[in-house]
Structure 1
Amino acid sequence: MSRAFTREEDNEAIADIGERPISPHRNLVTERGLAQIEAELERLRKELGKGERQEDRERLATASRDLRYWTARRESAELSVPEADSDVVRFGMGVTLEGEDGGKVHWKIVGEDEADPAKGSISHVSPMAQALFGKGTGDLVTVNGKEWEIVKLTTRE
C-alpha cells in the first residue's frame, strides 16, 4: 500500500469526526456556567493555534469542531440568576432533598453544559429539576418512583 493511499485514508478519518450535537432546549446558564463557556472558548483558540503551528490535522479538526460547538453555545446562552428571596425552586438555585429513607442530597440546578451530578449539579432539563421547579420547602416530589421532600432552598453557593 502506498503512503499516499494511507494518508488519504487518514484524512478521511480526520474529516469524519462529526459535529457535537447542540441541545434543542433553551441554553440557560449560571454566572459560573457562562464563565466556563468563555474559558473553554479561550482554551480552544489556543489549541487551534497549536494545531496550526504543529500542522496537526487531527488536533485542528477536533479544536475546530469544539470551537464551533462552544461558539454556538455562547451565542445562545441566556444568563439566569435566581432572585435572592425566591421561596420556590428556580434555575440556578440549590435544593436540599430528604428521601423516604431519611437520606439527604443537595443539587444545584444549572445549564446542560455545566451539569455534573458527581459534583452536585444537575441540568435544568433533567427529570429531577423538572419535578422541582415551582415547588417550595416542605413540598413533595416523586422522581423514578422515589419520593423526596424539599427541606432547604439556597440562592447563592
Structure 2
Amino acid sequence: MSRAFVREDAPDAAPQLPDLPVSAHPNHVTPAGLAQLHARLAAAQEELARLRARADRLDKLPEASAERDIRYLQARIAGAIPLDPASQPRDRVAFGAEVTVRDETGRATVYAIVGEDEADAAHRKIAPHSPLAQALIGAGIGDLVDWPRPAGAVTLEIVAIRYPN
C-alpha cells in the first residue's frame, strides 16, 4: 500500500515525540541516585497506565510524553555506573563526597558531588562534571581551590570531607 493512502491523523495514531537527550558524560550514580531513578521510572510507568485507562483517549500526547520519559529513564538506568561513596578515599574529595568549603569572606557551605540526575543547585548537589566539582575533586582538607565562575573565580578552602553511608 502506498504511504499516500495511510491516514496518519487518525484518532488511534499516537504522536511520535523525539527522545530526551542523554548526556554524553558517564552516568555515575550514588546508591540514593539509582534508587531515585528507579522510583521515577515506576512513577512514570504508573502514570502511563493511568493515561491508558482514561475513558477519553482522543489526546494521545500525554501518553507519548510518558512513553518518552520511560525510555529516557530506562536508558539512564541501563547506563548507570553505581559508585559506593564508602569506597572512596576519605582524605580526598571524590564522587559522592559532601564537601564543606569556606569562601574568601569566611562563609562555610556544604556541597555534595552526586550523579547528573540527582544534581540540584538549590540543594547544593552538583554534578561531577560541573566546574565547581571539577575544582573540588582530588583536593584534601586545607587545600585551596579556584572555582571558575562567569562572575569571576572564587578561592575556596576545603574545611571538611564526609562520605554519607
Q: Is TM more than 0.5 here?
A: yes
**Matched residue, 1:27:** 27
Q: 2:155 pairs with 133, 136, 147, which one?
A: 147
Q: Which ranges of structure 2 fall in alignment gaps of 5 or more residues?
A: 1-7
CA RMSD of aligned residues (A): 2.3
**Matched residue, 2:81:** 78
> Could you tell me how far apart the structure 2 residues matched to 1:122 and 1:84 are?
17
**TM-score normalised per structure 1:** 0.87
**Matched residue, 1:89:** 93
Matches within 5 A, 1:96-107: 96-107=100-111
- SS of equivalent to 1:40: helix
* Number of residue equivalences: 150
- SS of equivalent to 1:49: helix
Matches within 5 A, 1:5-154: 8=9, 15=15, 17-54=17-54, 55=57, 56-82=59-85, 83=87, 86-144=90-148, 145-154=153-162
How far apart are 1:96 and its partner, in Å?
A: 0.4
Kindly provide the CA deviation profile for residues 93-148 of structure 1, in whole angstroms up to 9, marking residues without a partner as x: 10000001111111000000000111121111101111111110011111121100
**TM-score normalised per structure 2:** 0.83
- Tell which deviates more after alignment, 116-125 or 68-77: 116-125
Q: Which ranges of structure 1 fall in alignment gaps of 5 or more residues?
A: 1-6
Q: Which runs of 4+ in 1 moved over 4 A?
A: none
Change (3 A) 1:79 1:152: same
- SS of equivalent to 1:156: coil
- The structure whose residues are more often helix, as a share, is 1
Change (3 A) 1:11 1:123: farther
How far apart are 1:39 and its partner, in Å?
A: 0.3
Counterpart amino acid of 2:15? A
